[in-house]
Amino acid sequence: MKYEQLANEIIRNVGGKENVGGLTHCITRLRFKLKDESKANTDALKNMDGIVTVIQSGGQYQVVIGNHVPEVYADVAAVGGFQVETTEEASGEKMNAFNKFIDIISGVFAPTLGVLAATGMIKGFTALLLTLKVLTATSGTYIILSAIGDCLFYFFPIFLGYTSAKKFGANIFIGMGIGACLVYPSLSALTAGEPLYTLFTGTVIESPVHLTFMGIPVILMTYSSSVIPIILSTFVGSKIEKGFKRITPSVVRTFVVPFCTLLVTVPLALIAIGPVATWAGQLLGAGTLAVYNLSPLAAGVLMGAFWQVFVIFGLHWGFVPIAINNLTVLGSDPVLAGTFGASFAQTGVVLAILLKTKNVKLRALSIPAVISGVFGVTEPAIYGISLPRKKPFILSCIAAAVGGGIIGAMGSKMYMIGGLGVFGIPSFIGADGAGAGLYGALIGITVSFLLGFGMVFFTFKDEPAAGEDPNVRRLEVLVKRESVSSPLKGNIVSLTDIRDEAFSTGALGKGIAIEPSEGKVFSPVDGVVTSLFSSGHAIGITSGGGVDILIHIGQDTVKLKGKHFAPKIKQGDPVRKGDLLVEFDIEAIKAAGYVVTTPVIISNSGSYLDVIETEKKTIAYDDELLTVVV
């Protein structure tokens, strides 16, 4: 596993496996539900290589990783053995109503975002090619690309049935089955022709009835691309499933529970839950549009100004179902459109810092932040650069507000959930092709970028961020050190005095040796036990910073075949500095004819500038033994 070491460190610093009640991820973050957040070592995580920052919000403990979060997520889940979606009851955590809402929304929608954005991008670029007359609507290429772009959104209830079932602790295939029933083609076809009769005649919810179920009228709706009906139906289904589980004998539970659950839930969804949820979605869409129409300019300003703040605290999830619902009900969404300039404003701010700063480290951070910002991923820019310096972050919010106001005033709307950053531009192309809305979006993001860039370029002063020492920042980039403590107590011996040429010649790496006075070996760093010989005489540890340490107890002691050695850990275990690794019997080993002089080697010392040995003649546990210069 590529990120196994980082995964072990993350698990240890969130309080261990037993403190994790749930785990999921979004585009850049690991989202933990911890049973006790006070057990997490937040400062250690924030200072760890490979982690951008840590946010505690919305009932979640969010570890911001960056673009490669899916790979880290997979390794954390594998190392921890986590069932990555758990219910609130399983985690033992009680949340207030708002936090619970955010948690449910993020748990249901987060797993779909990658594919949702990908298919949206394909749909957007297909629309762009049609607008530019590169493709025609009747060409095979256009038809296939349209199928790829529309597939997820058309069958969205099936995908949300899966994620909702996982979130609610239900059988995921039951959730998918409910979603499949809602988009079953034969049911949709029944809406044609003369109805049997009409319900609620003369009201806003007047509904023709084309079929009944056991004499009960079924109001058929179009559920493809819908959001609310499947989430509510799966929630109800999860409760029904739990009820049947309690009363069904275990010997037939595998097929009887799904049989009974689907037989009850699907008719209930089609008769009551689906229609009511659809009307609620239509009401939500109309209400959102009514608020937006009060002042599109003001709505754009507010969404642009506060979007990055929402993202920092994970509150942006509250707008995701509103936007998707608007797309399904209204065909477009003006709400998230106003936020589109925020990533460009942040990118402009960081580009200005990159051009103005003389600080080597800040420049090194800014280059990848600008690149990822162009594609809409701004967490590295926010947490690593602008937010610690406060003023640049505030200026980026101002620039985003101006851009959002322009987007709102020009009536720009998104017609699909597409990509982020530049990949999101085609999302503003509607069925009628490019129009004023697209041009409004282009003007808005351009103004956001230029305004953010200009305000910071002409006001930025090369000052350290909060907590940084201005006198050592440049040196830290050039010289970084990692300390390795002594795993043993005893007298220092030069490696050149070791009889084994593999150690004395430095072939196995730079280091030092210890003549132990006590038969105990303790971990010299925080890290992971990457190797442990079956004989117990040699231990390999990789530190959190990637330093590989080999502790070889005695010479030729492998021949003892484990006799007189008592390992206290096993390979793969995470360890903290000072943890007991091995106990060994010094006198018994000597009596057997072996020396106990123990080399402590940096086995990947060739990857570093230097390995500096201690000048002490005697060493105690936890004394600094070696310094690795990066």
Bigger pLDDT: 171 vs 416: 171
- Where do the structural domains in the chain lie, given as residue ranges? 4-95, 155-292, 295-457, 481-629
Q: What is the DSSP string of 213-237?
A: ETTEEE-----TT--HHHHHHHHHH
Closest by alpha carbon to 92, among 63, 64, 59, 62? 59
Quick: pLDDT tens for 311-358: 776 667 677 778 888 887 788 889 889 999 999 999 999 999 999 988
CA atoms within a 13 Å half-sphere pointing along the CA-CB vector of 145: 19
Terminal C-alpha separation, the chain: 24
Q: Which two tokens stand for residue 578?
A: 């000072």
Architecture of the CATH domain 481-629: Distorted Sandwich (2.70)
Closest by alpha carbon to 44, among 68, 19, 64, 14? 14
529, 8 in Cβ contact below 8 A?
no
Q: What is the DSSP string of 40-56?
A: S-HHHHHTSTT--EEEE
Segments of 134-239 assigned E as strands: 197-199, 207-209, 211-213, 216-218
Q: Is 552 tagged catalytic?
A: yes
Amino acid at 335: V
Residue 105 banded pLDDT, cuts 50, 70, 90? confident
CATH 3.40.800.10 fits 4-95, yes or no: no
Strand order in the sheet with 610-613: 481-485, 624-629, 610-613
Residue 202 pLDDT: 80
Distance CA 546, CA 359 (A): 26
**What is the average pLDDT value for the chain, to the nearest integer?**
84
Q: Which two tokens stand for residue 403?
A: 């851009």
Average of per-residue pLDDT across 237-253? 92
Instruction: Tell me the C-alpha to C-alpha distance, in Å, between residue 26 and each of 105, 175, 359, 504.
Output: 12, 21, 32, 50
Q: Is 210 tagged catalytic?
A: no
pLDDT at 95 over 80: no
Residue 93 pLDDT: 47
Q: How much of the chain is in helix, strand and coil states, percent to nearest 5?
A: 55, 15, 30
Quick: pLDDT tens for 131-158: 888 989 899 999 999 999 888 878 989 9
User: Percent of the chain, pLDDT > 70?
Assistant: 91
pLDDT at 471 over 50: no
Average of per-residue pLDDT across 394-414? 94
Distance CA 63, CA 14 (A): 10
Q: CA geometry: angle at 60 spanning 121 and 44, to 5°?
A: 105
Average of per-residue pLDDT across 202-211? 82
Which run of H or of E encompasses 425? Answer: none
- Least confident range of 73-87, 228-242, 596-610: 73-87
4-95 against 481-629: fold identical: no
Quick: pLDDT tens for 1-45: 688 889 999 999 999 999 998 888 766 788 888 888 889 998 888
Distance CA 486, CA 532 (A): 18
Instruction: Tell me the C-alpha to C-alpha distance, in Å, between residue 414 and each of 130, 340, 438.
Output: 17, 10, 9
Residue 518 pLDDT: 93
Residue 475 pLDDT: 39
Residue 213 pairs in a beta bridge with 216
Q: Taken in order 555, 560, 562, 565, is the CA torsion positive or negative?
A: negative
Quick: pLDDT tens for 412-469: 999 887 777 888 888 898 877 778 889 999 999 999 999 999 999 999 987 655 555 5
Choose the most confident range, by mean pLDDT, from 111-120, 359-368, 482-491, 550-559. 482-491
Average of per-residue pLDDT across 114-121? 78
Catalytic residue among 25, 26, 181, 210: 26
Secondary structure letter of residue 339 according to DSSP: G
630, 482 in Cβ contact below 8 A?
yes
Q: Which two tokens stand for residue 586?
A: 């010094």
Q: Within the chain, what is the greatest distance between any pair of CA atoms?
A: 101
Distance CA 390, CA 501 (A): 56
Distance CA 465, CA 412 (A): 37
Quick: pLDDT tens for 288-313: 778 888 899 999 999 999 888 887 76
Which run of H or of E encompasses 577? Answer: none
pLDDT at 286 over 80: no
Q: Taken in order 415, 313, 48, 16, is the CA torsion positive or negative?
A: negative
Distance CA 614, CA 447 (A): 58
Residue 131 pLDDT: 81
Residue 615 pLDDT: 83
Quick: pLDDT tens for 502-544: 778 777 788 999 999 999 999 999 888 988 887 889 899 988 8
User: Percent of the chain, pLDDT > 90?
Assistant: 36
Counting Cβ atoms within 10 Å, is residue 50 exposed (0-12), middle (13-18) or buried (19+)?
A: middle
Catalytic residue among 25, 316, 537, 552: 552
